[in-house]
Homo-oligomer: A and B are copies of this chain.
Amino acid sequence: MNFLELIKKRQSCRKYIPGIIKKEKIDRCIEAARLAPSACNSQPWRFIVVSTPEIKDNLAENAFSGIYKMNAFAKQASALIVVVRERSYFSAKLGAFFRGVQYSLIDQGIACEHLILQAEEEGLATCWIGWFNEKAVKKDLCIPTGKKIDTIISIGFAENPELRNKSRKDILEISEFR
């Protein structure tokens, strides 16, 4: 599978069937994230893989209740990967300050997409989730309140792995040549 085929195959999965993910598959996903580039090589990320059923069920219950219920599908995933934003190096923070850009978020986008594309290669289905009860997640996993959690990735086995069409802007709308 070449890279374009891989990214065409990746799609957000919101319907999972039960199944246990082999540890070595998750390890390769984390390894793919670990190798990601980041501003000043800060690697401002930590991945908490939650797959023990009672811990995961409890986490999902708290993370995706109330106004976050639209993402309750994630309860059915085999694991939830909670992505904690870690501190960037001083040089990266300085650059971010002067440029007015939170490069640590760009970094997180890169690393998580590495993880997600590796999962796709492993035959696993995933979904990027940004809408969840962050406070409850921190409480549940004993993450210090000062930390920021921007993303949870649900990962597991797709109920229906059939490819949907990707709805995207036209290439002429997003690019130009000079």
List residues of chain A with CB under 8 Å of any chain B CB: 1-4, 6-8, 10, 12, 26-28, 30-37, 39, 41, 43, 45-52, 55, 95, 99-103, 105-110, 112-114, 117-118, 121, 128, 130-131, 134, 141, 148, 150-151, 166-169, 171, 173-178
A174 contacts B34, CB within 8 Å?
A: yes
Q: Is the CB of A101 within 8 A of B34?
A: no
Contact B134–A99 (Cβ < 8 Å): yes
Evaluate contact between B55 and A37: CB separation under 8 angstroms: no
**How many copies of the chain does the oligomer comprise?**
2
Bound form: Cα–Cα A118–B6 in Å: 11
User: Are A37 and B102 neighbours in the complex by a CB distance under 8 Å?
Assistant: no
Complex alpha-carbon distance, A43 and B157, angstroms: 26
- Are A113 and B109 within 8 A (Cβ)? yes
Q: A101-B130, A106-B105, A109-B108 are in contact. Are A32 and B7 (CB under 8 A)?
A: yes
Rank and list the top 9 A-B pairs by shortest CB-CB distance, nearest first: A109-B109, A105-B105, A106-B109, A110-B113, A109-B110, A47-B175, A3-B121, A101-B150, A30-B175
Cα distance, A141 to B178, chains bound together (Å):
9
User: Contact at A175–B49, with CB atoms within 8 Å?
Assistant: yes
Given A30-B174, A46-B174, A49-B175, is A150 in contact with B35 using a C-beta cutoff of 8 Å? no
A-B contact pairs, 21 of them (CB 8 A): A1-B2, A7-B35, A26-B177, A34-B174, A35-B166, A43-B168, A46-B174, A46-B175, A46-B176, A47-B175, A48-B178, A49-B176, A49-B177, A50-B178, A51-B178, A95-B130, A101-B130, A102-B102, A103-B105, A103-B150, A105-B106
